[in-house]
Structure 1
């Protein structure tokens, strides 16, 4: 059993200055707060992989969409591919 170390995700959030790696936005800056989320590319509950290379920092909107639509992440291209053909590239990257 491996315990999730939240400090890794928090460090990545700081690295990206609370900006989404997909849209590049800090959607919460206008309100004087920092809201961004860490998403595990390979689900932590299955992989127990909490390493930085298994996480992307994304806004809550992209996080919800990814969980609902379940796109495939193509690591060599740093792109999410959705079933309907939509592709979204990781635009801001300093750790993958």
Structure 2
């Protein structure tokens, strides 16, 4: 079993990816909450002006699992030597009442993130692919890299934003 270390506010927290990402959703969330409490509860940050709580430990876990590569286009953005950046997209947006949960998240690049937010992409989880509203777009029918559980309900919420015109 490999152990991955996530740096958060100067602390190193050991995560066993097999425990956190492959066990039940409830178990993963329980472990994440325990690690958050070990950090003194200071790892919760706030998104936008509505002060919707988000725990960056979940986001960091997924980014490590996907090695900072977009699950949709497979691109990895290097910001400096050996440093990479990507986003974590919530399928059911946290600001709209969606949970800050691994089953509601995908690791994406900024371009794919904005396309998901604007409804330009449709996630076809049954076939592990994405559809773009323009059938000649390079991402249309592109395979999605899926290594963690994604809840179909949240995919449905995401797909309600998809534009066919």
Q: TM-score range by the shorter chain?
A: 0.7 to 0.9
| Shift in CA distance, 23/82, structure 1 to aligned 2, threshold 3 Å | closer
Once residues 65 and 75 of structure 1 are traced to their aligned partners in structure 2, the CA distance between those partners, rounded to angstroms, is 17
Deviating above 4 A after TM superposition, structure 1's stretches of 4 or more consecutive aligned residues are none
Report the TM-score, using the length of structure 1 for normalisation: 0.76
Whether 1:3 aligns to 2:53 is yes
Query: Aligned pairs, how many?
Result: 95
Aligned residue for 1:25, secondary structure, equals: coil
Report the TM-score, using the length of structure 2 for normalisation: 0.48
Q: CA deviation at 1:42?
A: 1.5
Q: Which runs of 5+ in 2 are unaligned?
A: 1-51, 150-165
Q: Which runs of 5+ in 1 are unaligned?
A: none
Structure-2 residue corresponding to 1:88 = 142
Q: Identify the structure with bigger relative contact order (alpha carbons < 8 Å, sequence gap 6+).
A: 1
Structure-1 residue corresponding to 2:97 = 47
Aligned CA-pair RMSD: 2.4
